[in-house]
Amino acid sequence: SYGGYAALMTPAVNPGLFKCAIAGLAVTDFKYQLTTPDGDTWNNDAGVQYWKALLGTQDFDAPIVKQISPVFMADKIKLPVFLYAGIDDIRVPIDQINRMADALTKAGNPPYAYVKKEKEGHGYGKLEDNVDLYTQILKFLDKEIGH
Protein backbone atom coordinates (compact mmCIF):
# COMPACT_ATOMS: atom_id res chain seq x y z
CA SER A 1 0.00 0.00 0.00
CA TYR A 2 2.28 2.74 1.24
CA GLY A 3 5.36 1.37 -0.50
CA GLY A 4 3.59 1.44 -3.84
CA TYR A 5 2.20 4.89 -3.11
CA ALA A 6 5.66 6.21 -2.19
CA ALA A 7 7.19 4.61 -5.29
CA LEU A 8 4.80 6.68 -7.43
CA MET A 9 4.74 9.94 -5.47
CA THR A 10 8.50 10.24 -5.04
CA PRO A 11 9.34 10.56 -8.75
CA ALA A 12 6.36 12.90 -9.20
CA VAL A 13 7.65 15.36 -6.59
CA ASN A 14 11.40 14.60 -6.72
CA PRO A 15 12.26 13.88 -10.36
CA GLY A 16 15.74 12.54 -10.88
CA LEU A 17 16.01 10.90 -7.47
CA PHE A 18 15.42 7.39 -8.87
CA LYS A 19 16.00 5.67 -12.21
CA CYS A 20 12.83 3.58 -12.08
CA ALA A 21 9.87 2.75 -9.84
CA ILE A 22 8.12 -0.45 -8.78
CA ALA A 23 4.65 0.17 -7.41
CA GLY A 24 2.52 -2.66 -6.15
CA LEU A 25 -0.86 -2.69 -4.45
CA ALA A 26 -0.68 1.10 -4.41
CA VAL A 27 -3.23 3.68 -3.35
CA THR A 28 -3.19 6.13 -6.25
CA ASP A 29 -6.32 8.22 -5.55
CA PHE A 30 -7.28 8.92 -1.94
CA LYS A 31 -10.81 10.08 -2.71
CA TYR A 32 -11.50 6.89 -4.62
CA GLN A 33 -9.93 4.77 -1.87
CA LEU A 34 -12.14 6.30 0.79
CA THR A 35 -15.40 6.33 -1.16
CA THR A 36 -15.55 3.24 -3.38
CA PRO A 37 -17.54 0.22 -2.23
CA ASP A 38 -15.01 -1.95 -4.12
CA GLY A 39 -12.69 -1.85 -1.12
CA ASP A 40 -12.94 -2.31 2.61
CA THR A 41 -12.13 1.26 3.70
CA TRP A 42 -15.25 3.26 2.75
CA ASN A 43 -17.62 1.49 5.16
CA ASN A 44 -15.27 1.54 8.14
CA ASP A 45 -16.10 4.76 10.03
CA ALA A 46 -12.98 4.59 12.19
CA GLY A 47 -10.84 4.01 9.11
CA VAL A 48 -12.40 6.90 7.20
CA GLN A 49 -12.03 9.23 10.20
CA TYR A 50 -8.38 8.18 10.54
CA TRP A 51 -7.74 9.05 6.90
CA LYS A 52 -9.58 12.36 7.17
CA ALA A 53 -7.38 13.28 10.13
CA LEU A 54 -4.26 12.18 8.27
CA LEU A 55 -5.27 14.16 5.18
CA GLY A 56 -6.11 17.16 7.33
CA THR A 57 -9.56 17.63 5.82
CA GLN A 58 -13.08 16.32 6.10
CA ASP A 59 -13.67 17.14 2.42
CA PHE A 60 -12.59 14.51 -0.09
CA ASP A 61 -12.87 17.18 -2.81
CA ALA A 62 -10.32 19.44 -1.11
CA PRO A 63 -7.34 20.31 -3.35
CA ILE A 64 -4.89 18.52 -1.04
CA VAL A 65 -6.56 15.17 -1.75
CA LYS A 66 -5.70 15.45 -5.46
CA GLN A 67 -2.28 16.94 -4.75
CA ILE A 68 -1.21 13.83 -2.84
CA SER A 69 -2.81 11.31 -5.21
CA PRO A 70 -0.33 9.93 -7.79
CA VAL A 71 -3.01 9.29 -10.42
CA PHE A 72 -3.36 13.07 -10.80
CA MET A 73 0.41 13.55 -11.07
CA ALA A 74 1.11 10.95 -13.76
CA ASP A 75 2.34 13.63 -16.16
CA LYS A 76 5.18 14.40 -13.73
CA ILE A 77 6.39 10.78 -13.59
CA LYS A 78 9.02 10.49 -16.32
CA LEU A 79 10.85 7.32 -15.35
CA PRO A 80 10.08 3.66 -16.19
CA VAL A 81 7.34 2.25 -13.95
CA PHE A 82 6.53 -1.37 -13.12
CA LEU A 83 3.05 -1.89 -11.67
CA TYR A 84 1.50 -4.93 -10.02
CA ALA A 85 -1.75 -5.76 -8.28
CA GLY A 86 -3.99 -8.54 -7.07
CA ILE A 87 -7.27 -8.66 -8.96
CA ASP A 88 -9.16 -9.62 -5.78
CA ASP A 89 -7.52 -7.02 -3.51
CA ILE A 90 -10.16 -5.51 -1.22
CA ARG A 91 -7.69 -3.32 0.68
CA VAL A 92 -6.61 -1.41 -2.43
CA PRO A 93 -9.08 -2.20 -5.23
CA ILE A 94 -7.64 -3.13 -8.62
CA ASP A 95 -9.13 0.01 -10.16
CA GLN A 96 -6.55 2.06 -8.23
CA ILE A 97 -3.77 0.48 -10.30
CA ASN A 98 -5.84 0.27 -13.50
CA ARG A 99 -6.45 4.01 -13.31
CA MET A 100 -2.75 4.66 -12.65
CA ALA A 101 -1.74 2.57 -15.67
CA ASP A 102 -4.23 4.53 -17.80
CA ALA A 103 -3.00 7.88 -16.43
CA LEU A 104 0.64 7.01 -17.13
CA THR A 105 -0.26 5.90 -20.66
CA LYS A 106 -2.22 9.10 -21.32
CA ALA A 107 0.77 11.09 -20.01
CA GLY A 108 3.03 9.40 -22.58
CA ASN A 109 4.78 7.09 -20.13
CA PRO A 110 3.00 3.72 -20.29
CA PRO A 111 4.06 1.25 -17.60
CA TYR A 112 7.00 -0.97 -18.53
CA ALA A 113 4.89 -3.81 -17.18
CA TYR A 114 1.62 -4.23 -15.37
CA VAL A 115 1.26 -7.58 -13.62
CA LYS A 116 -2.23 -8.52 -12.43
CA LYS A 117 -2.83 -11.87 -10.79
CA GLU A 118 -6.18 -13.64 -10.53
CA LYS A 119 -7.30 -14.90 -7.13
CA GLU A 120 -4.70 -12.75 -5.38
CA GLY A 121 -5.42 -9.97 -2.94
CA HIS A 122 -3.29 -7.44 -1.10
CA GLY A 123 -0.10 -9.40 -1.60
CA TYR A 124 0.44 -12.61 -3.50
CA GLY A 125 -0.10 -15.85 -1.62
CA LYS A 126 0.68 -18.37 -4.34
CA LEU A 127 4.31 -19.36 -4.81
CA GLU A 128 4.03 -19.45 -8.60
CA ASP A 129 2.60 -15.92 -8.68
CA ASN A 130 5.42 -14.62 -6.48
CA VAL A 131 8.06 -16.37 -8.59
CA ASP A 132 6.57 -14.89 -11.77
CA LEU A 133 6.30 -11.41 -10.25
CA TYR A 134 9.85 -11.34 -8.90
CA THR A 135 11.27 -12.82 -12.11
CA GLN A 136 9.67 -9.96 -14.04
CA ILE A 137 10.85 -7.40 -11.47
CA LEU A 138 14.43 -8.70 -11.73
CA LYS A 139 14.31 -8.35 -15.54
CA PHE A 140 12.96 -4.82 -15.15
CA LEU A 141 15.68 -3.85 -12.67
CA ASP A 142 18.39 -5.44 -14.81
CA LYS A 143 17.20 -3.42 -17.80
CA GLU A 144 16.85 -0.13 -15.91
CA ILE A 145 19.74 -0.18 -13.44
CA GLY A 146 21.60 -3.40 -14.44
CA HIS A 147 25.25 -4.13 -14.16
Half-sphere exposure of 26 (CA within 13 A, CB side): 29
CA-based end-to-end distance of the chain: 29
Mean pLDDT in residue range 22-40: 92
In this prediction, residue 48 carries a pLDDT of 87
Instruction: Give the residue from 66, 74, 84, 68 showing the smallest Cα distance to 106.
Output: 74
In this prediction, residue 17 carries a pLDDT of 96
The total number of residues shown for the chain amounts to: 147
- What domains are there in the chain, each with its CATH number? 2-145 (3.40.50.1820)
Prediction pTM value: 0.93
Tens-place pLDDT, residues 104-146: 999 999 999 999 999 999 999 999 999 999 999 999 999 999 8
147 pLDDT more than 80:
no
Give the mean pLDDT of the chain.
95
